[in-house]
Amino acid sequence: MTADNTIQSTDTKRGEDSQSGYRENWWQYFTFNKDHKVIAIQYLVTSFTFFLIGGLFAMIIRGELVTPPSDLVDRQLYNGLFTMHGTVMIFLWIIPSLVGLSNFLIPLMIGAKDIAFPFLNALAFWMFPPAGILLMASFFLPSGTAQAGWWSYPPLSTQNPSDPVLNGQLFWCLSIVLLGVSSIMGAVNFVTTIVRLRAPGMTFFRMPIFVWSVLSAQLLQLFFLPSLTGGVLLLLCDLSLGTNFFEPFRGGDPVLYQHMFWFYSHPTVYVWALPVFGIIAEILPAFSRNPLFGYKSVAVATIGIAVISATVWAHHMFTSGTPMWMRILFMFTSVLIAVPTGVKEFSWTATVWRGKLHLDTPFLFALGSAAMFLFAGVTGVMLGAMPFDLHVHNTHFVVGHFHYVVYNTITVGIFGAIYFWFPKMSGRMYNEGWGKLHFLLTFIGANLTFFPMMPLGLQGMVRRIASYDPQYQWWNVIASFGGFLLGVSILPFIANIIYSWAFGYKVSDNPWHATGLEWTTTSPPPKENFKEVPTVTLAPYSYGRPQYSTVDSTDEGAVRRHHR
């Protein structure tokens, strides 16, 4: 801390870094601003707020599960909490925070002035807070929130509500439809930007992997989100207008909803995961001073994952009376997806292999994410195998696997991205010590929370229950302890980011000595990103020999930090 302070005290002309007036014009974050960099910060801050709310729900759930009987909250509230936890974390944290990162990075990485349709971009953002508030508002309804889980399977979701109009399930549906429309706008924007707005010389096979992965993810949004939006609209009609689409007692077909839901909601897992794979592919080369191993095969694997992910949805429905030929077919495709995913995992390993590793916070998070994804992927293949899945379906094993994906891989990866591009966003450096503390607490907490769910599931503990058999208590206590540790782990992150945004020492434009167009412009980037349209002449990740340091010798602060 003292080193940081001395550097900061020499920093007398702090007002001058406002080429684009980021820090000084804080109020612009509350306006309908069309600059993609402002919208990115709006997305990140809003989604992080929802992340804290969703995390609070999770800690109440973990608190309930410390003891076998249902004693902390009443069961209705418990059902509402796990429903809202899932919905908030998926639709209000992971998706929008990745949209935020993509918003900031995509135009910079491809050398564009802004996103293709700035007005649409701002409109898409401003649909997101109302949708979130609508979802939260359902806590204040007399009948409480939606309680059917984040899948909202009928007939459970359509039976439960007490009032045909004012019920939590209706609020849930409206919120999801609103977010769906917003996401489609975003997808149109990203796909058009990447396909049409690349700088001269930025051919497809010169795009960084992050751009490839966002392109794949947003194509998935474009083609598959309509299925969820359509399904939820029909659910809404069943709920409030008296139609019978999914009403089994009146001839409807509840399994049809499951198909419509998972037809989007499995590919969506790759909408979250692919950008994070992209983040890992950006961070690992920069801190191991090696080019990304097998760039082209990784790019092709990214598209491959997106394509195969469209054909696996029914593996969520092995126990829904699915015919045997479908089970076999979907088991095959589900396991097949491990191949392109394995390509990525091998590429990361080969990238850091024999590199000169610089263990800065972004690298730790990226490596942690990649390592824990291995575990998530292996349990995923286990679940993809139908004979195994039939036994652990709807148990904590599934919950454990899923959280290894969404927290230990995706959320950890997002933290890594925030640390990595924080200097670019703010023009200032975060505090390394607090960052490492955050990583340590996250890594320990995440594994303590989600690993115990695997043995619990194998022993047969069902998910979404408030009370359980006392024989499961031991693992549950560990998981709850880990859950609270995860809650604590966020605190150094918040402190670090707020403090560094205001008082962190200023850094050069490229503190990591990374390649990539975003590092060639100033930090924070000016209004239209680049003074002149850049002309790209090289493939990405052209890092030199492994012994090159990440330290920018012209950057006093970074040098001191590394030679402390």
Partner 1 sequence: MSNFIPSRELPKQQPQSQTGAQGSDPESNRGFFSDDERGKVLFGMTSFLTSESLVFAAFFVAYSALRFSSTNFLPAGVSLPNFDTSTIIDTVVLLSSSFVIFLAERALARRKLNLFRLLWLTTSAMGAFFLSGEVQDWLKETLKLSTGEIGGPFFIITGFHAMHVTVGILLQTIMLIRSFIPHNYDKGHYGVTCVSLFWHFVDGIWLIVFTLFYLWR
What would the x/- binding string for partner 1 be over residues 335 to 354, using CB under 8 A? --------------------
Q: Considering only CA atoms, which of 121, 97, 131 is closest in space to residue 187?
A: 121
Contact 199, 111 (CB under 8 A): yes
Residues 115 to 154: which contact partner 1 by CB under 8 A? 116-117
453 HSE (CA, 13 A, CB side): 28
Give the interface segment with partner 1, choosing from 11-19, 232-240, 325-333, 487-495 (CB under 8 A). Answer: 232-240
Rounded-to-integer distance, Cα 244 and Cα 75, Å? 29
Q: Give the pair of three-digit tokens for residue 436.
A: 């490492």
The site that binds partner 1 (CB under 8 A) totals a number of residues, namely: 68
3-state SS class at 246: coil
Give the interface segment with partner 1, choosing from 33-41, 137-145, 234-242, 438-446 (CB under 8 A). Answer: 234-242
Question: Of 11, 253, 432, 528, which one interacts with partner 1 (CB under 8 A)?
Answer: 253
Min separation Cβ 90 and partner 1, Å? 20
Question: Of 260, 417, 429, 490, which one interacts with partner 1 (CB under 8 A)?
Answer: 260
Contact 523, 507 (CB under 8 A): yes
CA 355-359-363 angle, 5° bins: 85
Say how many C-beta atoms besides its own lie within 10 A of residue 488's C-beta. 11
Contact 51, 97 (CB under 8 A): yes
Question: Of 197, 335, 382, 444, which one interacts with partner 1 (CB under 8 A)?
Answer: 197
Min separation Cβ 295 and partner 1, Å? 8
Radius of gyration of the chain (CA): 23
Rounded-to-integer distance, Cα 425 and Cα 446, Å? 27
Q: Is 504 left (phi over 0), alpha (psi -120 to 50) or beta?
A: beta
Looking at beta carbons only, is 136 or 233 nearer to partner 1? 233
What would the x/- binding string for partner 1 be over residues 528 to 557, using CB under 8 A? ---xxxxxxxxxx-xxxxx-x---------
Residues 154 to 193: which contact partner 1 by CB under 8 A? 184, 187-189, 191-192
Give the interface segment with partner 1, choosing from 26-34, 250-258, 339-347, 360-368 (CB under 8 A). Answer: 250-258
Give the interface segment with partner 1, choosing from 151-159, 252-260, 304-312, 444-452 (CB under 8 A). Answer: 252-260
Looking at beta carbons only, is 513 or 561 nearer to partner 1? 513
Looking at beta carbons only, is 69 or 544 nearer to partner 1? 544
Question: Of 112, 280, 298, 308, which one interacts with partner 1 (CB under 8 A)?
Answer: 112
Question: Hunting for tokens 């092995």 — which residue is that?
Answer: 318
Q: Give the pair of three-digit tokens for residue 443.
A: 């890594």
Looking at beta carbons only, is 256 or 440 nearer to partner 1? 256
342 HSE (CA, 13 A, CB side): 8
Min separation Cβ 230 and partner 1, Å? 3
Looking at beta carbons only, is 103 or 515 nearer to partner 1? 515
Work out whether 252 is an interface residue with partner 1 (CB under 8 A). Answer: yes
Rounded-to-integer distance, Cα 409 and Cα 398, Å? 15
Q: Is 534 left (phi over 0), alpha (psi -120 to 50) or beta?
A: beta
In the 3-class helix/strand/coil scheme, how is 439-492 assigned residue by residue?
A: HHHHHHHHHHHHCCHHHHHHHCCECCCCCCCHHHHHHHHHHHHHHHHHHHHHHH
Give the interface segment with partner 1, choosing from 31-39, 50-58, 233-241, 331-339 (CB under 8 A). Answer: 233-241
Looking at beta carbons only, is 183 or 476 nearer to partner 1? 183
Min separation Cβ 421 and partner 1, Å? 15
Looking at beta carbons only, is 289 or 344 nearer to partner 1? 289
Rounded-to-integer distance, Cα 364 and Cα 494, Å? 18
Q: Is 203 left (phi over 0), alpha (psi -120 to 50) or beta?
A: beta
What would the x/- binding string for partner 1 be over residues 211 to 230, using CB under 8 A? -----------xxxxxx-xx
Looking at beta carbons only, is 16 or 532 nearer to partner 1? 532
Q: Which residues pair with 395 in a beta bridge?
A: 462
Cα 446 to its chain centre, rounded Å, is 15
Rounded-to-integer distance, Cα 44 and Cα 527, Å? 19
**DSSP secondary-structure letter at 143?**
T
Looking at beta carbons only, is 389 or 518 nearer to partner 1? 518
Looking at beta carbons only, is 251 or 387 nearer to partner 1? 251
Residues 264 to 323: which contact partner 1 by CB under 8 A? 289-291
Residues 453 to 482: which contact partner 1 by CB under 8 A? none
Q: Site residues (CB under 8 A) for partner 1?
A: 112, 116-117, 184, 187-189, 191-192, 195-201, 206, 222-227, 229-231, 233-234, 237-238, 241-245, 250-253, 256, 260, 289-291, 510, 513-517, 519-520, 531-540, 542-546, 548
